[in-house]
Structure 1
Amino acid sequence: MKKIILTAICWTIWTTAFGQDAQKYYEQGLEKAQAGQLEEAINLFDKSIELKGDEYVAWYNRGIAKSMLYRYEEALSDFEQTLKLYPNYKKGFINRGTARKRLTDYEGALADYSNAIQLDNNYAEAYYNRGLVYEMLDKKDSACLDYNKANDLGMKIALKKVEKCNDTAKNAIVVHPILWLTKTANNDKYGFTSEKPILAGTGPEGGPANQRAYLDLLRDAKGKTIKYKRLSSCCDYKSENGFLGLAKLDQYEITYLNEKGKEKTATVYISFYDYDEPQILFGFKTIGQK
């Protein structure tokens, strides 16, 4: 089976005939996905899979589309089916590992990245991603070994991690990985006003990534994934970690369903300059919470 990986989004294309209608729906779905029309792409991948469910690429690309919409539970299921159909697909392990990471199954993520490395000892992306999880779990030595390996294999973004591993300066940035959310805010002002922002701090992948890590862990009142997008920065506040004693907040628009199932939007305020254990927004939940 011939595969072509598109570097920017990593959609997988195949050229074997697998049923005329199924292939038609798949190709239409791929076009929609590449155009950023992910919901439409998923609907077309659905139709392709209904007609012919034993082509791993349809499951894989549907999982990619769902991941891009933060629907990690559903994406995980698609990647699991991908690996049932193609047990040695290294990108299947990488993406299932990332879905597991987003769902707080960190040991499962490590196992998947390690499986990808077993399939390809020179798979820089797998080393780098495994290093990120090791770093999140405060296993610095293991993380640095993986970052060095990824760097040696030519992965440019790993160089900054290697430099950080070699930095012994006492004033190095303190990292606060957000692995789980365990506390719930006791008022409806937290996170929804600039006076009571979420202090997410900086994580292994940087400040904005820590903000996304927090939002990825949120669920609405029904336990469903929320959607979010960054709007802008605003609202100077005093901070020893900011420039000249001042820092800014980032504004994110979140979209979710309320208890009546009606779609709602709200603006939340998050800082990555300072850290105080982030709490679950009032009226919301986190992964696995009933």
Structure 2
Amino acid sequence: MRQINFICVFFSLLFLTACSGSKKTAQSTSSTSAATGKKMDYPMLDQGTFALTAVTTDKTYGYDQSNPIKVGGTTESSGPLNERRFFNALLGPNGETVTYVRKGSCCAFKSPNGFNGVGLLDRYEVTYDGLETPVILFINMYDYGELKAPVGFTYRK
């Protein structure tokens, strides 16, 4: 029974903290890497947009739940904001504006930054003009990693 209560509270908190819009919010981000313990400062284009510098060559990055985009922020209460900052930085392959909608959470995994050592990935449906079928990207807002644009996208400069 206690585990069921924990799960209900966990999903309620996740639902209340996760946002699905594309509004920009002003804050800067400075975080600690779960893997190394080192402080990570993500460069910013503005207060609501990360400054990406590369497109990955890894076709699974973001597209596969085993290789999510790690934006971090949960321990600083900026996980959903960091997700929006990442998506605000993305463009289609020819500079098209990207739209995104959060489709829920899935895929429990172990994380020292999660609730009782467990995190959930967020699933986002992402599209832009000219894309035949929207894509699903997986985001980890618990842990930090190097941010790149997934294959098929570019980024704001």
Q: TM-score, normalised by structure 1?
A: 0.38
Distance, in Å, in 2 between the alignment partners of 1:285 and 1:205 is 28
Matching residue's letter, 2:69? I
Q: Provide closer, same or farther for how the CA distance between residues 262 and 270 of structure 1 changes in structure 2, counting only shifts above 3 A.
A: closer
1:188 aligns with 2:66: no
How far apart in 1 are the matches of 2:113 and 2:125?
A: 25
Which has more strand, going by share of residues? 2
- CA contact 1:188–1:281 (8 Å) conserved in 2: yes
Deviations 1:153-195 (Å, cap 9, x if unpaired)? xxxxxxxxxxxxxxxxxxxxx7755521112211211101101
Cα distance in 1 between the residues matched to 2:156 and 2:104: 27
State whether residues 176 and 201 of structure 1, in contact with CA within 8 Å, keep that contact through their aligned partners in structure 2.
Answer: no
SS class of match (1:214): helix
Alignment of 1:14-25 (within 5 A): none
Please, what TM-score do these two structures have when normalized by structure 2? Answer: 0.67
> Is the Cα–Cα contact under 8 Å of residues 91 and 154 in structure 2 kept in the other structure?
yes
Residue type of the alignment partner of 1:264: T
2:126 corresponds to 1:254: yes
- Which residue, out of 147, 151, 155, partners 1:282? 151
Residue 217 of structure 1 deviates from its aligned partner by 0.3
**For each residue in 1:250-276, what CA deviation from the matched residue of structure 2 results, as whole angstroms up to 9, or x when unmatched?**
01110124xxx3443011100110000
Q: Aligned with 1:210: secondary structure?
A: helix
Identify the residue that residue 224 of structure 1 maps to in structure 2: 96
Number of corresponding residues: 122
Q: Computing the radius of gyration over CA atoms, which structure comes out larger, 1 or 2?
A: 1
- State the one-letter code of the partner of 1:190: Y
How far the C-alpha of 1:218 sits from its partner, in A, is 0.2
Identity %, equivalent residues: 33
Gaps of 5+ in 1: 1-68, 71-97, 103-128, 139-173
2:98 is matched by which residue type in structure 1? I
- Where structure 2 has 5 or more consecutive residues not aligned to the other structure, the ranges are 1-20, 31-38, 45-50
For 1:75-86, list aligned pairs within 5 A.
none
Assess if the C-alpha contact under 8 Å between 1:227 and 1:255 holds in 2: yes
Does structure 2 retain, via aligned residues, the 8 Å contact 1:231–1:253?
yes
Structure 2: how far apart are the matches of 1:249 and 1:137?
A: 20
State the superposition RMSD in angstroms: 2.7
| Bigger RCO (CA 8 Å, 6+ sep) | 2
Distance 2:29 2:67 in 1: 28
Q: What do residues 211-249 of structure 1 show as CA deviations (whole Å, max 9, x unaligned)?
A: 011001000011111110101000011111112221110
- Offset from partner CA, 1:189-212 (integer Å, 9 cap, x none): 110110100000118771101001
Residue 82 of structure 2: aligned partner: 210
The 1-side partners of 2:63 and 2:84 are apart by 16
2-structure distance, mates of 1:229, 1:178: 24
| Structure 1 counterpart SS, 2:86 | helix
